[in-house]
Amino acid sequence: MTAMIKPLRVQEAYEDLLQRSLSRIPCDLGRLLYLASTRDYNTGNYHHDGLADRFSVKVARSALEIAHRQAFCKVAALSLEDLARDLATYLQSSRENPEEFLRIWQRLEPYRIAIPMEVSPTVARLFASNVRLALAVLRLRRESDHSDR
Amino acid sequence: MMGVWGALAGAIVLLLVLLAWVRAEASSKDSRSAWDASLREQVESVEACSPEIVSQIFSANDLKFILGFESPGLERLFRRERTAVALHWVQETSAIISRILQRHLEASRRSADLEIAMEARILLQYAWLKLNCGILFALIGLLGPQRLAGAALHTERLTQRIREALREFQSAAQLREPDGAGTP
């Protein structure tokens, strides 16, 4: 029989996660991608060493899952203008070559991995569609910047 | 003479709605197979979209933002993407409504004391919601999602209301049958 997880412990772990890890990330999209990266691709289980040490593996897993879903809902509900701004912040913080970043994101669509389990298919679709549009906006801005010079 | 013009206008409107339906069908074709295969199952395990998400899908502000770039390519991409998402939402909502009614009918069959008036009201609401979905599906391709935000939010509110009403109905039915006679 599996042990019950106390909601209070999950809440504590969630707040710990917000304070120690997520507050250091400068944008919503960055926080979402960070949380998605704590999920195992094969099992779908979340894991975070520091959080699991301070609480327990199960409590950390639940806190990460909740945080991931909340971060996703927040990004999915952003207006296109806000998402484009957020994506620009993420691009800047990644310190990658912007041209290369935009090319890879448009071709490989790595942001799809950020979709949590059991979200509405329409919300998942809206998220992917909005990121595609935000990427097109950033590319257009870069192209017009280049042509102005 | 007025009768002829009226009939002609009616025929044109009908033709436009049919055209919109065909266009909407064509643009949602790519998503349809995936929908049929797996999304119907997902609908059972997830909650419906929140009103914020519905507002976002049908948002005119996003269109205004895109039009500010004065790029026909970007505008085309935006219209195509948003139409596809809006049609997907209508399909999902329609599937959720069917699922809710199906569950209700299963519960009603087991119920000992059916209220005919209540059942008729639920069926009417169901038919009205399905009709709303059908009209929205046809008009999204014709007018674009941004002009249909009010109708979409109305459908969303009705769906939530029928969902809550049926939840209450089921809780009441369970209370009436405490010995679990209604469970399969």
**B40-78 tens-digit pLDDT:** 444 444 555 688 999 999 999 999 999 999 999 999 999
Question: What per-residue confidence (pLDDT) applies to A26?
Answer: 94
B48: Cβ–Cβ under 8 A, 6 or more apart, which residues? A120, B92, B93, B96, B156, B159, B160, B163
DSSP string of A4-34, one letter each residue: PPPHHHHHHHHHHHHHHTGGGSSSHHHHHHH
What was the ipTM of the complex prediction? Answer: 0.87
B57 contacts A133? CB cut-off 8 A: no
Question: What per-residue confidence (pLDDT) applies to A1?
Answer: 40
Query: Residue A146: pLDDT band by 50, 70, 90 thresholds?
Result: confident
Stretch B122-129: mean pLDDT: 88
Number of residues that this document lists for chain A? 149
- How many DSSP H helices and E strands does chain A contain? 7, 0
Contacts of A80 in chain B (CB under 8 A): 62, 65-66
Residue B8 has pLDDT above 50, yes or no: yes
Residue B18 has pLDDT above 80, yes or no: no
B70–chain A Cβ distance below 8 A for any pair: no
CA–CA separation, A79 and A91 (whole Å)? 18
pTM of the model: 0.80
Question: Which residue would you say has higher pLDDT here, B53 or B170?
Answer: B53
Query: Residue A123: pLDDT band by 50, 70, 90 thresholds?
Result: very high
Query: Residue A128: pLDDT band by 50, 70, 90 thresholds?
Result: very high
Contacts of B39 in chain A (CB under 8 A): 121
Residue A136 has pLDDT above 50, yes or no: yes
B65 contacts A76? CB cut-off 8 A: no
A137 contacts B46? CB cut-off 8 A: no
Which residue reads 């029989």 in tokens? A1
B45 contacts A121? CB cut-off 8 A: no
Computed over every residue of chain B, the mean pLDDT equals 78
Which residue reads 């009908």 in tokens? B14
Helix, coil or strand: residue A46: strand
CA–CA separation, A50 and A73 (whole Å)? 25
Query: Residue B103: pLDDT band by 50, 70, 90 thresholds?
Result: confident
Question: Which residue would you say has higher pLDDT here, B105 or A24?
Answer: A24
Distance from CA of B159 to the nearest CA of A (A): 15
CA angle B139, B145, B151 (to 5 degrees): 70
> How much is the CA Rg of chain B, to the nearest whole Å?
20
pLDDT tens per residue, range A25-73: 999 999 999 999 999 989 999 999 999 999 999 999 999 999 999 999 9
B65 contacts A80? CB cut-off 8 A: yes
CA–CA separation, B129 and B142 (whole Å)? 20
B59 contacts A120? CB cut-off 8 A: no
Give the nearest chain B residue to A129 (CA atoms).
B81
Question: What is the token pair recorded at A79?
Answer: 């207006």
Question: What per-residue confidence (pLDDT) applies to A2?
Answer: 45
Nearest to A133 among B39, B78, B89 (CB): B78
